[in-house]
Amino acid sequence: MNEIITYGQNYSLNKGIISFIKSATKTGNKVTIIGYNLKQDVLEFILKNKCNYVDASFLSKKYNVDMSLSPYTLKVILFYLYIKHISTSNNVFLCDFTDVYFNNDIFKYVNATKPMVFGEGKLIANCETNTTWINLCYNQDIYGLLRKYEIINGGAILGPTQYCIDLLKEMCLDSSAVIGKIGNYPNIDQAILNKVVRFDNYRYIVGPKEAVLNMAQIKEQRNWNSKNVPAVFHQYDGHPDVEGYIK
């Protein structure tokens, strides 16, 4: 079995959530939403569309998770706990919630032995935001080693469940160290993912843009059709060509 898994907190129902749930369920895979303080309209929409809902409060109490941490940090921790202790799926796609749209089945890209992550098409050295995150979380020496690589986006991880558990475990260990150093900073997950993956390249794969297209760095518009559309759009907000495509 394959399972799409996301995390969200404090949301009311919005267009992004509606698009995520409708498109994810159409792929035929199990869809799980881990939620914390989601509003009633979101919960009702999840139930209406027959998605699996996991209350993050349950995971928090059972495994002593500090829910005051940044949502980006909680996403990593809760993904890890859910797929390690609850999920029975063979393969998982771990992703963001409000800006992800499924055009077709992402699981056709699964590698049997390695987790797959996805780039943004821009070098770390050429992005002020990612440069800042890595220097804050680590130091200039580690940034010097990472700066030559393409940015890996923290909003999508695909692979066999056990290998994704191993990746998330490493990220959780680094998260603990980073929080001890800089406190509860809002965005540490992407810097940590880039460091973990690039420091052990042989254990991971950077997947093709045909699988997941991260659009934060993409400015030009494109004309999409059934032949050239990626399996997943991510960060499509503000791209009129995509917004129009998914209506």
Range of the domain at 39: 2-245
With a cut of 80, say whether residue 200 has pLDDT above it.
Answer: yes
Query: What pLDDT does residue 207 have?
Result: 98
Domain CATH number, residue 45: 3.90.550.10
Instruction: Give the pLDDT confidence of 88-146 residue by residue, as tens digits.
Output: 999 999 999 999 999 999 999 999 999 999 999 999 999 999 999 999 999 999 999 99
- CA torsion 109-112-117-118 (nearest 10°) is -20
With a cut of 70, say whether residue 247 has pLDDT above it.
Answer: no
Instruction: Give the pLDDT confidence of 41-73 residue by residue, as tens digits.
Output: 999 999 999 999 999 999 999 999 999 999 999
Tell me the residue type at 243: E
**C-alpha–C-alpha distance, residues 22 and 133, integer Å:** 33
Instruction: Give the pLDDT confidence of 149-195 residue by residue, as tens digits.
Output: 999 999 999 999 999 999 999 999 999 999 999 999 999 999 999 99
Domains: count for the chain? 1
* Band of pLDDT at residue 219, cut at 50, 70 and 90: confident
